Structure formats: structure tokens, C-alpha cells
Amino acid sequence: MKRFSQSLFKNAGTVVVLATVLLASACKKDASNTVAPVGSGSSNNLQTNAIGVSGPKGVCYVEVNNNDIRNVGKYKLSTGQQLFDIGIIFAANINYNTSTQQAVLYFNPQVTNVLSNKATYIQPLQAKGIKVLLSILGNHQGAGISNFPSQAAAQAFAQQLSDAVTTYGLDGIDFDDEYADYGTNGTGQPNSSSFVYLVTALRQLMPNKIISFYFYGPASSRLSYNGVTVGSKVNYSWNAIYGSYSVPNVPGLAKSNLGPAAIDIQSTSSSTAASLATQTVNNSYGIYLYYNLPNTDVHTYLSSVSNALYGKATTYTP
């Protein structure tokens, strides 16, 4: 499987709900780091322009419970361009309010620190041309992206996400359908409309931001409803099984918007990582996914990937 630190998102203290702050800023859009609106099919190919060289975009998840998101900006190609195009804060959660029976966006203390100090953690990456997304996944409370009971419920959660993007100056949202524990607290099981309703509402709220999908969980088999496809609303999707090569089946996304190769920097061998990079280039796919970037210097390992992707080594600046 993939993540092993989901339990770190459980907080013994009180749930931090930032709805008041978020709603207060909902009417003010952040104009920086915007991207082209999504259309359908191959027109979803956003140019993040971080690397500035020909080849797949690098997308990197950082477990901010243990590691610094700013590490994403410390790696460059030998010719000076940033290695990573997109850095993803892993992760915010979907909690469940049993009183109101509603999904609630929740940030644990580590995520709260990153978001609340955006001038320290987020804006320096954006200044380098790197897009910063917030990953969203379940928290063992029964609420997830696949079981909203109504379109209105999906729209309400989409509003929370859009407000967070605006408040913290983010470049978009990444969806990860894990750890929801559907059925807990009397919640419903995954349904066919939920994820489609959610991404449709979020795209309307964020026409110029990135929406991506980590291809995993119940949502991965519920990508169309009432003639609307998830692929027409999201910009990217990537493989969720580290150390493997598997093309996400998301109708509506072109090869340039898909990432079949996925690695865990701390557990996938450099030879496997290089092989997956070579396959990505040979098959003309547009994304290469990295997970678990540590605080230590791993530029030698990353060079095995960048040499295959771009013909250039990776350098590290502390």
C-alpha cells in the first residue's frame, strides 16, 4: 500500500476547526500563482513552469508531521532549474461532526503551523515557481470524498476547501481517498455521485487553481455520474502504489496530465526509481510522482531520477 503515518493525524486534543477564519476570507481571491482554467480532455494540461526544461513535471508529497515542506525548494537540476514543479502538504483531514452530521476540514498542529506561517513555508516555494497544494484525506471518522449524502453536502465541503486555498494562498487541492473508514459514526458507504459533485463544485469555486487526484480508494472507481466525469474537472492524476508503474484510468485526462510512475524516496531503490523514470519518458507521460521527501540531503538518489527524466543531475542547496 502507501502511507504508513496516518495515525499521526489523530490528535488527542480538541479538533481545530478554522471555519470562522476561512469564511471571513472567502470573498477575497488570491491572484498569485494562478493557472489556466480547466477545459476538457487534453486542454487540462497546466504549465507550472517550475523546471523550465522539457520533460515530465515533478510532483512531491512531504509528510509535514516529520519533515519541512521547504525541502522541496532545495533541489535543482545541474542547469539551475527547480527539480520539483509541485509540492504537496501531506496532509489535511476530513473529520466528521456527529452533531451536525457534516464533513469538516481539519488541520493537525503540524499542518496548522505550515498554513498559518505561509510567509515562511509556502510563499518561498511559490517564489521559486513551485506550486503548493494541500492534500485532503480521511481521518477514521467515517467522512471521506466518496460518501457525501447529497450534492449540497459535497458543495459545502468544497466551499471549505476553496476558503482554505484562498486564506493560505495555496495553488490547489489534492484528493486522496484513504483512511475514511466509511460507515463509522453511522456514515454512509461510498456512492457514485459524491466525488463528481465535489470536484464539480470545487472547480466552479476555483477555476484557476489546480485540482489533482491520487488514484486510489473508492473514488478511483467512481469517476463519472450523470454524464459528468472527474477527468473533465481535475488537472492531474497519478499512481498511488510506490515502486510501481500503473497508468491511472481517469477518462478525460491526456497522457501529459497523468503520472504512472510513483516512488517513495525513503524506500524505493534508486535503480527502480530510474527505471520508472525511463518508462515515463519513453511512454510520453507528463508526471513523475515522488513521496516522502526527508529533511536529509538525498540529491544523489534524486539524480538517478533526474538523469533519466531530463539528462541532468540533481543538486542540493541547504
Q: Is residue 300 part of a domain?
A: yes
pLDDT at residue 149 in the model:
98
Q: What is the pTM of this model?
A: 0.87
Q: Report CA Rg, the chain.
A: 18
**Minimal CA–CA distance to 36: which of 278, 207, 275?**
207
82 DSSP 8-state letter: B
Q: Is residue 46 part of a domain?
A: no
pLDDT at residue 156 in the model:
98
Model confidence pLDDT, tens digit, residues 254-267: 999 999 999 999 99
Taking a C-beta distance cutoff of 8 angstroms, is the pair 312, 84 a contact? no
Q: Is residue 89 part of a domain?
A: yes
Q: Is residue 42 part of a domain?
A: no
Number of structural domains in the chain: 1
Cα dihedral 126, 87, 116, 212 in deg (nearest 10)? 110
Q: Is residue 304 part of a domain?
A: yes
- Kindly state the cell numbers that stand for 239: 499512481
CA distance 72 to 126: 11
User: Integer distance in angstroms from the first to the last C-alpha of the chain?
Assistant: 32
pLDDT at residue 39 in the model:
40
> Count of residues for the chain?
318
Q: Which active-site residues does the annotation give?
A: 178
pLDDT at residue 50 in the model:
62
Domain that holds residue 229: 57-316
Cis omega (within 30 of 0) on the bond before 91?
Answer: yes
Regions in the chain scoring below 70 on pLDDT: 1-50
CATH code of the domain covering residue 259: 3.20.20.80
Type of residue numbered 194: S
Tell me the backbone φ, ψ of residue 22, rounded to 5 degrees: -65, -45
- Kindly state the cell numbers that stand for 288: 513523475
pLDDT at residue 18 in the model:
41
Q: Is residue 298 part of a domain?
A: yes
CA distance 12 to 181: 19
